[in-house]
Amino acid sequence: MKTVLIVDGYNVINSWPELAALKQQTLEDARGKLLEIMTNYAGLTGIKVVIVYDAYQVKGARGSKDFYHGVEVIFSREGETADEVIERTVGEYMDEGSYQVYVATSDWTEQRIIFGKGGLRIPARELYLEVEKKLMGMKEYEKDQEIADRFLEHRLSDSVRGKLENWRRK
């Protein structure tokens, strides 16, 4: 069974310290950083990620659906809340039958509705900890690779290494 994670974008931005601070500069920067983080997370885990943003009060908003490096980003249309889009999206994935659906939000009412549709919820704080754990693991791996690559012997093929060892012993 495949897994899809639907992220309540503004709820997560307001819940994560780094993103909340970025939001004070510009909302676009915070959305961009969340997209970057979730793209890395999706790549590391293989989980399909959908980020939903609310354009409920944006005059003339038609709604949109775009993909960035495999992550789907949805903006609701004018008069439609992100919660409505999330509920509809959960229903679509559940109807397909081949997905385990998680929704990242700290909105208790939304969590209860998601449960009712058969989805599971992840509070924004719990997602933050999960993402940090995964991304820290990636950074540790990269650090280990950088250290290993500092030594010439780690970059040589076995045959070259063997020839050099034979040469050294002569």
Residue-wise pLDDT for 38-77, tens only, equals 999 999 899 999 999 987 666 777 778 999 999 999 999 8
> What percentage of the chain reaches a pLDDT higher than 70?
86
pTM of the predicted model, to two decimals? 0.77
Measured between alpha carbons, how far is 149 from 12 in angstroms, rounded to an integer? Answer: 37
- Give the pLDDT band (50/70/90) at residue 146: low
Domain locations in the chain? 2-135
The residue type at 154:
H
Average pLDDT, the chain: 85
- Give the pLDDT band (50/70/90) at residue 31: very high
When comparing pLDDT for 98 and 101, which is higher? Answer: 101
**pLDDT tops 60 at residue 168:** yes
Q: How remote is the C-alpha of 150 from its chain's centroid?
A: 31
Q: Which CATH number, 3.40.50, 1.10.4160, 1.25.40, 3.40.462, labels domain 2-135?
A: 3.40.50
**pLDDT tops 90 at residue 156:** no
The per-residue pLDDT for 55 is: 78
Q: Are strands 71-77 and 62-68 parallel, antiparallel or unpaired?
A: antiparallel
What are the residues facing 4 on neighbouring strands? 48, 101
Residues 6 or more apart in contact with residue 22 via CB below 8 angstroms: 13, 29, 30, 33
**pLDDT tops 70 at residue 78:** yes
**pLDDT tops 60 at residue 167:** yes
The per-residue pLDDT for 2 is: 92
User: Exposed, middle or buried, 93 (CB in 10 Å: 0-12/13-18/19+)?
Assistant: buried
Measured between alpha carbons, how far is 132 from 67 in angstroms, rounded to an integer? Answer: 23
Reported as type and span, the H/E element at residue 7 is strand 2-8
